[in-house]
Structure 1
């Protein structure tokens, strides 16, 4: 799997969704989705794009299992957090409040774990991170 390509393409999807929600809010005059809009852009677009650039700039071994866990954890975590947040705040299907809350929490937890794995990668593979 090409980590950089996967993360850049995924971040582009989130950039579009975030921009679409922002334009919808601006056109409709309501700010009800502002927290969701912000999280989609920050964790979906910016974080995934930053991770892609990290893998492009620094030669983290392609066979790194930590990197694999990080990339997939980031992908699943961003999806779970942002969709869970939307479900939690909009409650589109009455009666699923507990499910929505759990979905939101699990997505956020997976993303937090992915960030922790990134921290480990930065220190474990620190010899590859250099200005040289």
Structure 2
């Protein structure tokens, strides 16, 4: 695995470790306030980013486009922004976190649309 596929998969591994660590900390402290943050970190960060990595590994030509690079950077930045907002919201600072959660979520939707644009031709040809 190289290039964009490797970057997506490597970041997925980081989100998996961070998400599981957050889950462990919640369990040990019996404070589950960050459960939605934990879930988003694992589902979007671990699962989705790992799937993106596998797609780009299976279709390396798709990974070479500028849209694919934009997909990577937009997805990474958007997830971090959304997670920062979620942490704030579930710490009780809803007003401070809401703009970040909204911006990150919108960015993640835009990155998924970019991914669909990049992936569709490869999947249709396969």
Shorter-normalised TM range: 0.7 to 0.9
Change over 3 Å in CA distance of 1:98–1:25 after alignment to 2: closer
Instruction: Write the deviation string for residues 28-65 of structure 1: whole angstroms up to 9, x where unpaired.
Output: 22221111110000001111111000000123344311
Higher helix share: 2
Specify the SS of the correspondent of 2:70: helix
CA distance in 1 between counterparts of 2:49 and 2:121 reads 20
Kindly report which structure 2 residues correspond to 1:2-41, keeping only aligned pairs within 5 A, or say none.
Answer: 2-41=3-42
Specify the SS of the correspondent of 2:61: coil
* Residue in structure 1 matched with residue 117 of structure 2 by the alignment: 120
Structure with larger Rg: 1
Unaligned runs of 5+ in 1: none
CA contact (8 A) 2:6 2:53 kept: yes
CA distance in 2 between counterparts of 1:32 and 1:100 reads 14
CA contact (8 A) 2:82 2:102 kept: yes
CA apart distance, 1:87: 1.6
RMSD of equivalent CA atoms: 1.9
Instruction: Write the deviation string for residues 65-86 of structure 1: whole angstroms up to 9, x where unpaired.
Output: 1111111111111111112111
Which range moves more in the overlay, 106-115 or 80-89? Answer: 80-89
Structure 1 stretches of 4+ with a deviation exceeding 4 A read: none
Report the TM-score when normalising by structure 1: 0.84
Change over 3 Å in CA distance of 1:36–1:30 after alignment to 2: same
Unaligned runs of 5+ in 2: none
Change over 3 Å in CA distance of 1:98–1:30 after alignment to 2: closer
